[in-house]
Structure 1
Amino acid sequence: MLQRIVTDLQGVRLAGRAGHWDLSVADGRIAGLRPSGRNGGGLITPLFADPHVHLDKTYTLQRMPRRAGSLHDAIEMMAQDVPNWTPEDIRQRAQLALSRAFAHGTGRMRSHIDWHDDRPPAAWQVLGDLAQEWQGRIKLELASLTPLDAFATHGEAIARRIATSGGVLGAFVYRNDNLAEGVARVFDLAERFDLPLDFHVDEGTDPLAQGFDAILTETERRGLAGRVLCGHACALSVRPADEVGQLLDRAAAAGLGLVALPACNAWLQDATGERTPRLRGIAPIREARAAGMQVMFGSDNVCDGFFPHGDYDPADAWRLAVLLGHLEPEDWLDAVTTLPAGWSGGAAPLTEGAAADFIHFAVNNADELASRPTAGRTVWRDGNPIAPLNGAIPC
């Protein structure tokens, strides 16, 4: 008769819960969870969820001719590399990215994929296949990334194909002509094909960039609470405070979600290459959460023409957001765990009887985690600690 193996983690802190706890694991599940009189047992968080990455572009840094001097410079450099994106090239790079993310404790991820015409890009099929292969380890969700103006000619074909593969309809919006009309067109397609929406919006520090406003208006008008995410929204950081406050109040009431990308935005915004950047382009995340919006953080680009660093570790995005935004660390752990997980179908909480999928950090609290990026980390999946992933990455 096989002996039932039980692992006890005593005196741990649980993200989002006060006090200390004794947590036991058996048969792949959390078998017990009791208040503890002990302490010093470490910090446990749910698995990470990364709501905004670009697996089609990742690990192409060594093929870039230079470091990007602006967002549009990065776009041009990446476009020059697209002929190298064979299915095998994409697969190899994305497979490494998923392996890194899994080892760091990511259980869910949404990847944007550049899509500019009627034909699905090679990455859509490759990453769709990888999503199937990674089932049970990472839930990989795919979102198209199409320039807003391209929807006039290619939008229906793109939306129709996405609807057959269970993806997300996405658009890049920045100071477009006929902005309201273009945004309404994307929403029309989303409603027609029953698709969630995800926008790259106002990724710049120009106060005249007001795509966020147009997206908010359509979300309100159509009652699409919980169906629309806005990523970046950098321009909100330089618009008048009272104007931004009114927008955020409306966005919270409308159920619009916000994903901040602290690493890539701090790197590219106001990047002249000749002086220290003055404008960092981080969306007003504190004000957004205070208004009642769901605010999340994502890794965004990793080791490519947009951002030359990164390792698919949402703890890095969280830590950088804490530092740049002057955030209370404990209060914002949900921005890389439960909140983004909820936008992709939800994840089980850390409760008795739930699957033993969590991350155990060798720190006393979230403040220490923000201060010690090299603190010990053990990722538990199905009741077992997984082996850490070593080796170099092509950055």
Structure 2
Amino acid sequence: MAVTQTPRCVELPHGGGHYVLANARVPQGCVEGGVPASTHVCVDNLAELDIEVKGGQVAALYPAGGAAQHTSARRVDLRGKMVLPTFADLHTHIDKGHTTERSRNPDGSLSGADRSTARDAAFWDESDVCRRMDFSLRCAYAHGTSALRTHLINMTPKQTQLTWPAFSRLRAKWAGRVELQAVSLVVLSFFRDAAAAAALADLVAAHGGILGAAVCCAEKGGDPSDDWTTCEGDRDELLDRIFTLAKERDLDLDFHTDENGNELARGLRYVAQKAVQHGYQGRVVCGHCCSLAFQPPDELAATLEVVRRAGVTVVSLPLVNQWTQDRSHCGGRTPRWRGVTLLHELRAAGIPTAISSDNVRDQFYAYGDLDMLEVFTQSCRMAHLDRPYGDWPQAVTSIPADAMHLPQHGRIAVGLPANLVVFRGRRFSELLSRPQYDRVVVRDGAPLQVALPSYEELDYVPQAIKTGGWPQAVPYCLPTVLPGRAPHGGWCPARAQPATPPVTASLIVTSAPLPSHPRPLQATCLCCQWIMRQMERPW
């Protein structure tokens, strides 16, 4: 099932073939090797080009109006519409995606997200994980992403056993459409168990993945009391172990660092120092890095210098960090800071800096659709990436693609695949003002004929609910129901008071058709509404 799309911003030859995208406007930094001589570059560094497409590749680039002198191919006049290369999304969590309604984060905090995610893991099985991950990839693909890296939560044996086979299965399924990569996600203290650490590294290597860890990344990250991600007493030893495991298996590294507003959270610096010591320059990514915004000038300068020398790519996650950060005082308090790392300072220091989606519709962020244009749009507004826009479009295209070692992604160049996104917007003020749902995604020269999947596809019943395991999974949010037994009547545990209409349903978990019940449960809690919608369907 798919959502009906609005008319496209331009009609391209079905199946591709040989044609010219005439009068396109392309961010100059997205053109590999520079634009042709005499190309007019207008406001906001937009190059006006004719793009010749042939055999699925970019055959030639000409100054706008110049293609007619060199080719008789069909001409599609874009009239100044913007064209970008397809996106690369460097930091996501599609294994957890689309779970927010069944295991809500009660306060929106980082710690609340951790607890809610742990509860939701009771729902996970092979079918559930694969269906949600595939749904996410379909969204990303339709929006114009051609490369995506996901972190896979490996905090329990069950999660590890489910996520890596699901990743390998989906990587094969999506090959040639979305280049999928995966990172193991555990806390730093996990590496105290040398045998378990080696086993995880072996598993990652067997699946062609990336080794990862969370460093100084809890709400109290950087504080000696945080023995999960800061590990004050043995941090150096644990980081050495991670780098050694990676070097022995030729694995790249990808860390969650400093996802908080604590001045003493300096995981980014610790990781960069180890990258230099181990000669691992250019093979490390660090995400979040929020606490940079709180470091004194001298500490900040020292951190930026070692990160530059280490060749670490920093990926900022503005949408998620502005949602989770500064929630330590819950209950009607307006946040005082945006949660975004120092994007301008990082770029000025010569550090490759990317922007990515992070979480989507889960306990860490209840929104999002893996639409990198939305990510870029909101990042421009939150981090002031617009005066000038400069090379910031590369933060969602070529820079993350380079960190993923995908030199053919995220850029436009003669001889590369014609993987493009055509937008109705003709300049940034238009591009970033509307959602551009009528965009045309071009893959290997041909326009995609796909639509976004419908959320109704996610209205399935996880096996844990069918077997009655879910009351333990979500103890405070869903009614207490056991197989073949009716719930207590008229109460919604999420409200801790008698619930009210409009939703009414009989809740009896059984594999047989549902009988009527004289004491139906009424609820306004969205989680209860969700489960009751499922109960109305025959299994």
Compute the TM-score of the two structures, normalised by the length of structure 1: 0.94
Equivalences for residues 260-279 of structure 1 within 5 A: 260-271=316-327, 272-279=330-337
CA contact (8 A) 2:108 2:323 kept: no
CA contact (8 A) 2:290 2:339 kept: yes
What letter is aligned with 2:48? H
Give, in angstroms, the shift of residue 40 of structure 1: 3.3
SS of residue in 2 equivalent to 1:91: helix
Asked if 1:23 is matched to 2:57, the reply is: no
Question: Aligned partners of 2:133, 2:20: CA distance in 1, in Å?
Answer: 36
- Which segments of 5 or more consecutive residues in structure 2 lack a partner in the other structure? 1-15, 30-34, 36-40, 42-46, 67-77, 222-229, 460-539
Question: Aligned partners of 2:427, 2:276: CA distance in 1, in Å?
Answer: 39
Asked if 1:166 is matched to 2:213, the reply is: no
Asked if 1:13 is matched to 2:25, the reply is: yes
Alignment match of 1:361 (pick from 423, 432, 444): 423
Question: Aligned partners of 2:123, 2:130: CA distance in 1, in Å?
Answer: 12
What letter is aligned with 2:20? D
Alignment match of 2:372 (pick from 314, 318, 321): 314
Question: Aligned partners of 2:84, 2:174: CA distance in 1, in Å?
Answer: 22
Equivalent residue for 1:382?
444
Equivalent residue for 2:184?
144
What letter is aligned with 2:163? A
Question: Aligned partners of 1:224, 1:252: CA distance in 2, in Å?
Answer: 13
Question: Aligned partners of 1:382, 1:192: CA distance in 2, in Å?
Answer: 37
Larger radius of gyration: 2
Question: CA offsets per residue over residues 260-308 of structure 1, 9 Å max, x none?
Answer: 0001100000122421111222111110000000000110000011100
Question: Aligned partners of 2:17, 2:276: CA distance in 1, in Å?
Answer: 52
Equivalent residue for 2:402?
342
CA contact (8 A) 2:269 2:306 kept: no
CA contact (8 A) 1:219 1:225 kept: yes
Question: Aligned partners of 2:22, 2:108: CA distance in 1, in Å?
Answer: 50
CA contact (8 A) 2:25 2:48 kept: yes
Give, in angstroms, the shift of residue 117 of structure 1: 5.4
Equivalent residue for 1:190?
246
- Which segments of 5 or more consecutive residues in structure 1 lack a partner in the other structure? none
Percent of aligned pairs with the same amino acid: 35
SS of residue in 2 equivalent to 1:57: coil
Closer/same/farther in 2, CA of residues 58 and 117 from structure 1, 3 Å limit: closer
Return the structure number with greater relative CO, CA threshold 8 A, min gap 6.
1
Question: Aligned partners of 2:438, 2:297: CA distance in 1, in Å?
Answer: 40
Equivalent residue for 1:115?
154
Comparing 253-262 with 274-283, greater Cα deviation is found at: 274-283
Give, in angstroms, the shift of residue 363 of structure 1: 1.7
Question: Aligned partners of 2:257, 2:345: CA distance in 1, in Å?
Answer: 18
SS of residue in 2 equivalent to 1:121: helix
Question: Aligned partners of 1:343, 1:390: CA distance in 2, in Å?
Answer: 28
Question: CA offsets per residue over residues 207-257 of structure 1, 9 Å max, x none?
Answer: 121212211110121221111110001111111133212211221122011
Give, in angstroms, the shift of residue 346 of structure 1: 2.0
CA-based RMSD of the aligned residues comes to 1.9
CA contact (8 A) 1:330 1:367 kept: no
Higher helix share: 1
Closer/same/farther in 2, CA of residues 11 and 129 from structure 1, 3 Å limit: same
Question: Aligned partners of 1:321, 1:313: CA distance in 2, in Å?
Answer: 12
CA contact (8 A) 1:20 1:37 kept: no
Asked if 1:87 is matched to 2:121, the reply is: no
Asked if 1:99 is matched to 2:138, the reply is: yes
Comparing 280-289 with 237-246, greater Cα deviation is found at: 237-246
Give, in angstroms, the shift of residue 37 of structure 1: 4.3
What letter is aligned with 1:111? T
Closer/same/farther in 2, CA of residues 375 and 152 from structure 1, 3 Å limit: same
CA contact (8 A) 2:288 2:321 kept: yes
Alignment match of 2:269 (pick from 201, 213, 216): 213
SS of residue in 2 equivalent to 1:49: strand
